[in-house]
Amino acid sequence: MLSICLAFSFTSALSVANEPANKTLLILSGDSSVYQQAADQTISLIKHKCTAENHSCQNMDFKKIVFTDISNIHSDAKLIITFGTKAASQPQIYRGNHIVIRAMLPKQSSIVQKQGISKHSNIDVYIDQPYSRYFELISTTLPRANRVGLLIHESNEALVKPLRDAAKSMGLTLNTRVVTNTTETGKQLSRLLDDIDVFLAIPDSRIHNNKTISNILMTSYRNNIPVVGFSSAYVRAGAIAAVYTTLDNIATQVAETAFNVLNENLVTLKNEQAVYFSVSINFDVARSLGITIPSESEVKNILNTAPKK
């Protein structure tokens, strides 16, 4: 059904072709507030930066569309910014000499894993945190925790080494259990909990999803093991802490990257880790587990000043 809808939009969206040169096109993966808010904030910050720097881009025209409205773009836009995987998956955006900033991309998304459809000039801005930041968060909030537990899907086993290296650089030990089938998540978790001080959830919908996280959180809590997550929702659900990228964080980083592109400041096109981040702490859970944690701003400051490894 989706393919039918897209085919219709392909024939009816010619109106966005032949964009003016001094133009930035922002393509959203949907019309939900998540994308709208990120795009609006990005536009606002770019404009602000251009004005502050008195750069020619202050007169730039910004056009924001949902990916379903771009079927045939022969755009001469100077810059295209995509928000999310669906927008970045549209082949039309890679036609032309412009640079594409692909924002809000999870590292584990298929488009990143397949290195994109074209060999176009792209800058990927990941939504994920660098692994080291998770371990910095653990060291900061749970100084007594030495053994970090992780469930990893068998198809992601290659991630274990970089994760283990990142943990080691913080003086932590990473204990992992491999999940081959999503139905055995609970079994592997219960065995893992015997050998760890904190459980780390990294983004993988096969392991952490609406159906499983209640059990993960409850089982860990019953065993007095705090969970560190990757989203504020995880913290609201019962994780003790999380480090993650907010829409404002995304917009700030994308705006800076966009300004550098427009200012032709970029020496090389390089994919970017999430530079800006936020920290959430569930003080109810911390208190219930008898754990004292500094405030969110203190933790964030410590993470900001942590030496980059």
Partner 1 sequence: MHPLKRFIVKLNGIHHSLWSLLLLYSVTVSAEPEVVSEAYFFDELPVALGATRLAQPLADVPTAMTIINKEMIEASGAMSIPDLLRLVPGFTVGFYAGSRATASYHGLVDQYARDMQVLIDGRSIYDPGYGGVSWADMPIDMDDINRIEVIRGPNATAYGSNAYAGVINIITNHPADAYGNKIISTIGESGRKRIHGMHASQISDFSYKLSASYEEGDGFHEREDSYDTSSFYFHGDKDLDRDNQLQIILGASRGTYEEGFSDILQKVRELDNTYNFQQLNWFHNKNDSNHFQVQFYHNHLKVEDAYESPLISDMVLDLEQLQAIPEPLRLDFFAMQMGAANFNDFLSAADINNGRFIISWLGLSSHRYDLEFEQTLKPSDHFRFAWGGGLRRDEAKSIQNFHQYEPITRDQARIFANSEWYAKNDLVFNVGGMLEDFEGEPPLFSYRGAVNFHIDKQNTFRINSSRAYRMPTLFEEHVNFVVFLDEPLNDINTWIKTQQDLDPQVINSLEIGYHGNFNESGVTVDVKIFKEKYRDIIISYRDFDFPDPDRGLADTTVIDNFNLLIHEGAVNYINDGEADIRGIEVDAHFKPTHRDLLYFGYSYLHTEGREIAWKNEGVIQHDNDVNRRAPSHTFSFLGSHRFGSGFQISTAYYFTDNVTWYGEGDNIPSYSRWDARLSKSFHLFSKDAEISLLIQNINHDNLDFYNSAPYINKWERNAYLQAKLEF
Query: Could you say which residues in the range 81-120 bind partner 1, by CB under 8 A?
Result: 83-86, 89-92, 104-111, 114, 117
Q: Which member of 127, 167, 179, 228 binds partner 1 (CB under 8 A)?
A: 127
Residue 178 has φ and ψ, to the nearest 5°, of -90, 130
Of residues 245, 253, 257, 273, which one binds partner 1 by CB under 8 A?
A: 245
Of 271, 238, 240, the C-alpha closest to 254 is 271
Least Å from the CB of residue 186 to partner 1 = 5
Confirm if 250 and 127 have CB atoms less than 8 A apart.
Answer: yes
Q: Which of 74, 161, 168, 222 binds partner 1 (CB under 8 A)?
A: 222
By CB under 8 A, is residue 271 in contact with partner 1? Answer: no
**Using rule CB under 8 A, residue 291 touches partner 1:** yes
Which residues, numbered 53-82, are part of the site for partner 1 (CB under 8 A)?
Answer: 71-72
What whole-number distance in Å separates Cα of residue 105 and Cα of residue 112?
8
Question: Does 2 participate in binding partner 1 (rule CB under 8 A)?
Answer: yes
Give bridge partners of residue 241 from the DSSP assignment: 228, 281
Identify the residue among 21, 180, 233, 309 touching partner 1 (CB under 8 A). 233
Q: How far is the CB of 22 from partner 1 (least distance, A)?
A: 26
Helix residue ranges per DSSP H, the chain:
2-12, 33-52, 85-88, 110-113, 131-141, 160-169, 185-192, 213-222, 232-237, 247-262, 283-288, 296-305
Selected binder of partner 1 within 48, 161, 218, 265 (CB under 8 A):
218
- The token duo for 71 is 């079927």
Question: C-alpha distances in angstroms, 206 versus 41, 155, 212, 226, 265?
Answer: 31, 10, 9, 21, 40
Interface with partner 1 by CB under 8 A: which range of 53-61, 208-216, 256-264, 298-306? 208-216
CB of 227 to partner 1, least distance (A): 9
Do residues 202 and 150 make contact, with C-beta atoms less than 8 angstroms apart?
Answer: yes
Site for partner 1 in 19-48 (CB under 8 A): 29, 32, 34
Q: Which tokens go with 17?
A: 């072709």
The answer to the question of residue 205 lying near partner 1 (CB under 8 A) is yes
The identity of residue 1, as a single letter, is M
Q: Decide if residue 7 touches partner 1 (CB under 8 A).
A: yes
Spell out where 10-98 has E strands: 23-28, 61-66, 79-83
Binding to partner 1 by residue 179, rule CB under 8 A? no
Shortest Å, Cβ 91 to partner 1: 4
Tell me how far, at minimum, the Cβ of 3 lies from partner 1, in Å. Answer: 4
Binder of partner 1 out of 203, 261, 273, 279 (CB under 8 A) = 203
Angle 231-233-235 from CA coordinates, rounded to 5°:
80
Q: Closest approach of Cβ 293 to partner 1, in Å?
A: 10
Find all residues with CB under 8 Å of 91, minimum gap 6, and list them.
117, 118
What backbone phi and psi angles, to 5 degrees, belong to 82?
Answer: -105, 145
Residue 301 Cβ, how far from partner 1 at the closest point, in Å? 19
Residues in contact with partner 1, counted by CB under 8 A, come to a total of 81
Q: Could you give the CA distance from residue 173 to residue 148 in angstroms, rounded to a whole number?
A: 6
